[in-house]
Structure 1
Amino acid sequence: MVCKPVEWKSTVVNPTTLAEVRGGYLSQPTGDIYHRYRLLTSHDNSHFFIKLEPDSRHGLLTIMPVINKLQAIPFEIHREGLSFILNNRDYLEECGILMPRFLESKKCIRYTEKIYAEDESIKNVCNFPQLLQILLQRVQHARSESFILTLASAYEGYQFYLPSFIDFRGRIYRSGILHFHERDLARSLIVFAPNPYDSYDSEIDKRCRKILYCSAPFHYKSFQSYTESNEWYNDNKSSFNTSDHSLIEFALHAKKPFQFIANVLSLERKTDPSTIPVTQDASSSAYQIMSYFLLDVELANRTNLISIDDKIHDLYTKLIEELRDYLKVHLRSSLASVVCPRIDRKLVKAIFMPLIYGKTVISTTKDIHNSLSSLLTNQ
């Protein structure tokens, strides 16, 4: 949105529900629009209805200034990052960081059908529905990436705003395609718009760059301290800073390759460091809250709520070890030897993160079976 959104205001003296406020890009709602667009992200009012007390300490009068402040922040497209991707798109596709553009064509499905019918070796590996499902996922991925790049190109040179919304837990989210709750590519293309009233300050510039030198490596892999990440950047700088291709090849093994590339470009090409967002996912926030209520010091340390040893911990990595030990005791040794090596962080997070929000045992069982379906029977 290139026009600044209207501030959220109450339509009544003592607002008690989210439907009694107006703002953002919503003006004079009528009919179904009245229920579709509101501060709450969920459309299911019967399950996620939030009533706020008129007391200003806990009511909408407290929330609205926060939302107004967030949605009034202007953003721009990361020009260096977008230019780098467009100029090196062929090589990014060749390396597998970007999906090939030919997947956007409808013809690729027809070609796949033809190749499958003619090639017996493929039939020995998978059936056509399985192959088609994988292909459709790749097609959707390719089209999504192209759409993001097209949208970013259209926004280049403009300042735009990201509407803010609240979910049923009270967390604030953004709306649209280009925002910080999207995936790696979209995140890498957004920067803060420079403040025209700020004058250059060498000390602030130096401090911002110091922060970026510590944060950029975390897009490549995890570290146990900021000092360790800073040292890693300086040690490997010569490996990825010689050419565009060297940076792409180095980023191939990164957790978030596009954000890593964007941060390196910002640091090495002298972009204003104060415009570069430093994004950090919540560190098992629900378990942080649990550790607070239970006064569990060990859990608080594992979730980085407190620091006992001055190290950054990953709760789910620790849970992998404990889950494997548990399975070795409770499963047959022959089954445990097959299952335990395949227990990874993604599966552990899918099991334990939703539990705190009330995920059922049946749903968890389905996730485990889907992940290990090639190894487990329905029983």
Structure 2
Amino acid sequence: MVCPPLDWVVQHPEGKEWLNISDLKGGYLNSISGLIHDRYRLLSSGNIKNFFIYFGKFEDSLSLKKAADLCEVMNKLQSQGFKINSEFLQLILKYEESFVHTGYLMPSFLTKRNINDVSELVRNLYIAAEQKLRHLTDYSSLIQTFVTNIQRARYEQTLIEMASAYDGYTFYLPAFLDFRGRIYRSGILHFHERDLARSLILIEDISIYEDYNPEFFDHYVRAFKTAAAYHYRSFTSDEAALCRISQLLHDLKGTDPLLSSEGTLIDFAKGAKHPFQFLANLRAIVEVDKVQKKSPFTLDQILSSPITQDASASAYQILSYFLLDDTLAKRTNLIPMDGDDRIQDVYNHIEIELKSFIAREGSVPEEVFKDITRSLVKSIFMPIIYGKSQMSTADDLRGHLRSITTKKECFHIASLCFKFWKEKFAHMDHLIGIIRLLGWFAASCGRPVLYSTKFFNTSQDYMVMEPYSLWVYDKLKKRKRKVTLSVSSQDKRDRKKTEISTFVNFIHQKDAFIAMSVIEDMRKDGYPIYTVHDNLICTITKSQDLPGIYRKVFHDLGAPLKLVNNMIWMNLISIPIEKGIAGEENSLTEKKRMSVRV
């Protein structure tokens, strides 16, 4: 990853009618051809026959433009350089014991422990002390804890070793897509990963310093402090975030700002949402105050640190656009709230209204009523728009409220949540139903479901999974045994799964399109940009432009009905192509299947 990936370009193979993602050449580091599944390195779908991205016919200029635009977006993403946060990496290595003591890191010696040896040792100790431990835990829970901690220690140490290897280099993070167009990265050292990985990455971009204006240094520091506060916890305004970080810095005065052996600075990250990212930013802020502004270290740290701006419940934002629901748009911060400049949380609003509804409609014990928190509401109403069933919701509630509820009570609470959804969000439920019916109709007619955006088209074709039995040789038992696998059928479409998945993939594809549109706008202006689905990452000098660009993308989507009508046209009125879109992929898959049979 220390060499820039090759730019993606459109190939023009002879004899092909349809232009699809396999006709794009480039990536990291060279292009492999032939009957190799991995040559589709821009697409993460494991079943390229049923789930793939295409652009249209080769002779169509619009198809070529779509492919070229997608290449430009992906090239912008994969050509962005990054570097290791050397100062913070050295701090972790120097004060590793303090990080372990506070629980941020697992002890490194766990990486050398064999899980089987640990299991046997724990079993013997548990048997010896079973009377004392039986009322606290069981053997399987203890083993699971050990396995989890060993795996976490291995992950952390591998990540630190990898960061140490890349330290001093500019490295690149090749991007790829799923069949909906959502962007992912490979490996473990990128912003899709957990807090520790994200804290070790800085943006490497010469233009950062070219655009730097010394007169705005105090403004940059203020914005950097505000961004750091959001790694500590959520706030309703930037002013509240800045006030909190200022209080923390005041409390730090008189302590060793370079992190004493007792871990003074580490203690301030206890309870933070993202403790490693918070510590990385906090140390840079402390350094700014210590050396009084512009040392090379503080300037580089502030200008290169990634600034995260997360879309607020992006699925609800997209639904507010399709339904032209200004109330929902305000509650998801897509448009300003009248007379209230605080950051809104749609799940807090749902929590308040849901509790009022439950108090009016159903008899729920007071202890259970108090446990209906914002977190629980999000776990119900985020997946509900993606097709989560009432029974599945009841099972999840059982997990949250197991100690104080019965199974029957959980089902009753779930039924109240769904009744509230049907009444409060009836218009949303109707739109979801329309999109799902399109998928059901297409599957019933024996066709895949097709989606379209400015950058690409998507084909989704769920097949019924059929049991397939085969005999394998068991080396441990030294005999043959039968194994049953689920294999996708070739001609039976799964109408139920298609119906449920169509709206999910519809929203995810629009979400991917919005992210790509933001990248396209940022590319035109030469801004560094990284996306994690609906999370946008930039530098401090450019981050203030992101909200405006994000809203502009929604504005440029045009009339919502036009997008819905386009999907109706593709799946009901136009004649969807079953064979030929995938082109060589179908024949390739068939050749593989034949070789397996032989």
Alignment of 1:334-353 (within 5 A): 336-353=365-382
Shift of 1:40: 2.6
Shift of 1:83: 1.2
Correspondence for 1:43 among 46, 50, 56: 46
Shift of 1:114: 2.9
Cα distance in 2 for residues equivalent to 1:58 and 1:338: 59
Is the deviation greater in 320-329 or in 278-287? 320-329
Assess if the C-alpha contact under 8 Å between 1:239 and 1:250 holds in 2.
no
Shift of 1:277: 0.5
Identity across matched positions, percent: 40
Q: Which amino acid aligns with 2:33?
A: P
Correspondence for 2:247 among 218, 235, 239: 235
SS in 2 for 1:27: coil
1:85 aligns with 2:95: no
1:112 aligns with 2:122: yes
**Change beyond 3 A, Cα 1:133–1:303:** same
**Change beyond 3 A, Cα 1:155–1:283:** same
Cα distance in 2 for residues equivalent to 1:45 and 1:364: 32
**Change beyond 3 A, Cα 1:362–1:275:** same
Cα distance in 2 for residues equivalent to 1:362 and 1:48: 29
Alignment of 1:158-307 (within 5 A): 158-195=169-206, 198-199=209-210, 201-203=213-215, 205-240=217-252, 242-243=255-256, 244=259, 245-269=263-287, 270-272=298-300, 273-307=302-336
Is the deviation greater in 309-318 or in 343-352? 343-352
Cα distance in 1 for residues equivalent to 2:310 and 2:187: 19
Deviations 1:233-261 (A, max 9, x none): 22220324633222211101101100101
Correspondence for 1:94 among 101, 109, 113: 101
Deviations 1:36-89 (A, max 9, x none): x43233323355322223515861111110110111011001011111111111
Cα distance in 1 for residues equivalent to 2:185 and 2:214: 32
Q: Which amino acid aligns with 1:157?
A: G
Give the aligned CA root-mean-square deviation in angstroms. Answer: 2.6
SS in 1 for 2:70: helix
Is the deviation greater in 163-172 or in 146-155? 163-172
Shift of 1:164: 1.3
Corresponding residue for residue 318 of structure 1 = 349
1:9 aligns with 2:13: no
Shift of 1:329: 4.7
Deviations 1:117-153 (A, max 9, x none): 2222221122222232233222222221121111111
Cα distance in 2 for residues equivalent to 1:249 and 1:281: 27
SS in 2 for 1:154: helix
SS in 2 for 1:191: strand
Deviations 1:189-208 (A, max 9, x none): 00012428945641354443
**Change beyond 3 A, Cα 1:201–1:62:** same
1:32 aligns with 2:39: no
**Change beyond 3 A, Cα 1:206–1:135:** same
Q: Which amino acid aligns with 1:264?
A: L
TM-score (norm 2): 0.58
Is the deviation greater in 224-233 or in 355-364? 355-364
SS in 1 for 2:309: coil
Cα distance in 2 for residues equivalent to 1:137 and 1:330: 43
Q: Which amino acid aligns with 2:171?
A: F
Cα distance in 2 for residues equivalent to 1:116 and 1:344: 37
1:20 aligns with 2:32: no
Shift of 1:326: 4.0
Cα distance in 1 for residues equivalent to 2:137 and 2:362: 30
Assess if the C-alpha contact under 8 Å between 1:103 and 1:142 holds in 2.
yes
Size of the aligned set, in residue pairs, is 376
**Change beyond 3 A, Cα 1:110–1:320:** farther
Shift of 1:328: 4.3
Q: Which amino acid aligns with 2:36?
A: D
Cα distance in 1 for residues equivalent to 2:219 and 2:91: 26
**Change beyond 3 A, Cα 1:58–1:268:** farther
Deviations 1:278-321 (A, max 9, x none): 02333110100101111212211111111111111222233333
Cα distance in 2 for residues equivalent to 1:311 and 1:56: 43
SS in 2 for 1:280: strand
Cα distance in 2 for residues equivalent to 1:297 and 1:102: 55
Cα distance in 1 for residues equivalent to 2:225 and 2:67: 39
TM-score (norm 1): 0.89
**Change beyond 3 A, Cα 1:201–1:109:** farther
Shift of 1:166: 2.3
Unaligned 5+ residue runs, structure 1? none
Cα distance in 2 for residues equivalent to 1:330 and 1:138: 45
Assess if the C-alpha contact under 8 Å between 1:191 and 1:277 holds in 2.
yes
Assess if the C-alpha contact under 8 Å between 2:83 and 2:167 holds in 1.
yes
1:67 aligns with 2:74: yes
Is the deviation greater in 53-62 or in 301-310? 53-62
Cα distance in 1 for residues equivalent to 2:361 and 2:104: 40
Larger proportion of strand:
2
Q: Which amino acid aligns with 1:27?
A: S
Q: Which amino acid aligns with 2:6?
A: V
Assess if the C-alpha contact under 8 Å between 2:320 and 2:328 holds in 1.
yes
